[in-house]
Amino acid sequence: MKFVDEAKIEVSAGKGGAGSCHFRREKYVAMGGPDGGNGGAGGSVILVADQNTQTLLDFKFKPQWKAQDGDPGDGNLKDGSAGQDLIINVPVGTEVFTQTTNELVTDLNEHGQRFVLAKGGRGGKGNTFFKSATNQAPRHTQPGEEGELGSYLLSLKLVADVGLLGFPNAGKSTLISRISAAKPKIADYPFTTLTPNLGVVKAKGKNTFIVADIPGLIPDAHLGKGLGIKFLKHVERTRILIHLLDPFHIDENGEQLTPFDSYNLLNTELANFSSELAAKEQIVVISKSDTISETDRKVLAEEFQQRDIPCYFISSVKGEGLEELIELTVSKLKDVS
């Protein structure tokens, strides 16, 4: 299934039915009187956050959505049927903006949350409604009101507890595949991950958390370079961040960076994109520890310790340090909840 996190849509609520102008015609009844019924209300367009919906792909193929019109009233005091509401399921974490002013309309970040995006028009009154002591035979009725309409931008931000960040080939996909049931694509070339992956991690004591594997960042990602801000927004909702650092990362100029250099570059990108994002609780993890000697581990750890930054080592391939990382993450999540 293709991952789509932005889509433009046009919505139209249903028009209300017209009121009826009708008079009773009964045998042996000298004066019938008005009996026109009211029109039914138009259906509304309602968005519902659904945890089983993962992408906005459907809206790419169907950008226009319209609710049902209300039926007109009829004689014998029969009111028209209301138009059926149009229920649209969207992924949890969907933000809705107006296309013209880019104003935030709603943020659907909880499963089952509902929002009326376009309200249906009211049905018109039939002539019975206007009967009075001074107007025994009214011929006046109301037309149905038009339903609301509008053009909106849907923008999805994944809802996860933990955001997994790192440069390309840092081992994020391998890690999430080892600690959860997620099955991301894994290969030895940059940008293997082209879409965010979500995985549910089960820890001890029935504790669980959701981790989001975000496609690899590169310098100036906040300016749109590489995969850029297209996916940085997906870590805005996370409660903590895990920085996965490759001990042998080669930058775009062919120079090898230390894990601490990579850490600084990642935080620079976060700060340039969002100060709130950069201020989130972080766990610093150096991957591929099975390829590092004990001496080099001590040197790397000391570089972070000198700046009061705890540093942890894991090997996703051999499973080293994964249980400890999961328990540490659970502990951190409890601290920030």
CATH number at residue 77: 2.70.210.12
Looking at the fold, whether 232 and 116 belong to one and the same domain comes out as no
For residue 229, what pLDDT is reported? Answer: 53
Q: What is the pLDDT of residues 67-107, one digit of tens each?
A: 999 999 999 999 999 999 999 999 999 999 999 999 999 99
For residue 69, what pLDDT is reported? Answer: 98
- The strand pairing partners of 312, in sequence order, are 285
Looking at the fold, whether 201 and 322 belong to one and the same domain comes out as yes
User: Is 79 within a domain?
Assistant: yes
Question: Between 144 and 175, where is the model more confident?
Answer: 144
**For the chain, how big is the Rg over CA atoms in Å?**
29
Per cent of the chain over pLDDT 70 is 88
Question: Between 66 and 176, where is the model more confident?
Answer: 66
Looking at the fold, whether 223 and 124 belong to one and the same domain comes out as no
Looking at the fold, whether 245 and 132 belong to one and the same domain comes out as no
Query: Does the pLDDT value for residue 136 go beyond 70?
Result: yes
User: Is 92 within a domain?
Assistant: yes
Please, are residues 240 and 285 in contact by the beta-carbon 8 Å criterion?
no
C-alpha to C-alpha distances, 226 to 32, 96, 263, nearest whole angstrom: 77, 26, 18
Question: For the whole prediction, is pTM greater than 0.85?
Answer: no
User: Which pLDDT band holds residue 191 (cuts at 50, 70, 90)?
Assistant: very low
For residue 158, what pLDDT is reported? Answer: 77
C-alpha to C-alpha distances, 74 to 18, 176, 333, nearest whole angstrom: 9, 62, 61
What integer is the mean pLDDT of 13-34?
A: 86
Question: Between 185 and 76, where is the model more confident?
Answer: 76
User: 137, 156, 175: which is the final residue of a domain?
Assistant: 156
Distance CA 242, CA 324 (A): 14
Query: Does the pLDDT value for residue 64 go beyond 60?
Result: yes
User: Is 300 within a domain?
Assistant: yes
C-alpha to C-alpha distances, 203 to 174, 207, 329, nearest whole angstrom: 18, 5, 9
Distance CA 62, CA 9 (A): 8
User: 114, 129, 156: which is the final residue of a domain?
Assistant: 156
User: Is 1 within a domain?
Assistant: no
Looking at the fold, whether 55 and 147 belong to one and the same domain comes out as yes
Strands (E) located in the chain? 6-12, 45-50, 64-66, 86-91, 94-98, 104-108, 114-118, 149-156, 162-165, 197-202, 208-213, 240-245, 281-286, 311-313
Q: Rounded to the nearest 5 degrees, what angle is found at the Cα of 221, between the Cα atoms of 167 and 159?
A: 80
For residue 2, what pLDDT is reported? Answer: 58
At 110, the amino acid letter reads: E
Looking at the fold, whether 139 and 233 belong to one and the same domain comes out as no
- Return the axis-axis angle of helices 294-305 and 259-273, rounded to nearest 10°: 40
Question: Between 92 and 44, where is the model more confident?
Answer: 44
For residue 212, what pLDDT is reported? Answer: 82
User: Which pLDDT band holds residue 59 (cuts at 50, 70, 90)?
Assistant: very high
Q: What is the pLDDT of residues 145-168, one digit of tens each?
A: 999 999 999 998 877 889 888 887
User: 140, 156, 172: which is the final residue of a domain?
Assistant: 156
Q: What is the pLDDT of residues 215-268, one digit of tens each?
A: 655 555 444 444 445 567 777 888 999 999 988 877 777 788 889 988 988 888
Looking at the fold, whether 180 and 143 belong to one and the same domain comes out as no
At 165, the amino acid letter reads: L
Give the count of domains, the chain.
Answer: 2
Looking at the fold, whether 284 and 185 belong to one and the same domain comes out as yes
What integer is the mean pLDDT of 3-20?
A: 92
Query: Does the pLDDT value for residue 15 go beyond 90?
Result: yes
Q: What is the pLDDT of residues 291-323, one digit of tens each?
A: 889 898 899 999 999 989 999 999 988 999 999
Looking at the fold, whether 289 and 208 belong to one and the same domain comes out as yes
Nearest to 60 by CA among 14, 124, 15, 4: 4
For residue 192, what pLDDT is reported? Answer: 41
Q: What is the mean pLDDT of the chain?
A: 85
For residue 32, what pLDDT is reported? Answer: 75
User: Is 35 within a domain?
Assistant: yes
- Residues 6 or more apart whose Cβ sits within 8 Å of residue 178: 316, 319, 322
What CATH number is associated with residue 332? 3.40.50.300
Q: What is the pLDDT of residues 269-285, one digit of tens each?
A: 888 877 888 888 999 99
Looking at the fold, whether 185 and 120 belong to one and the same domain comes out as no
Query: Does the pLDDT value for residue 185 go beyond 50?
Result: no
The parent domain of residue 281 ranges over 162-336
Looking at the fold, whether 112 and 145 belong to one and the same domain comes out as yes
Helix (H, G, I), strand (E, B) or coil at 300: helix
Backbone angles phi, psi at 305, to 5 degrees: -65, -35
Looking at the fold, whether 126 and 226 belong to one and the same domain comes out as no
For residue 178, what pLDDT is reported? Answer: 86
Query: Does the pLDDT value for residue 4 go beyond 70?
Result: yes
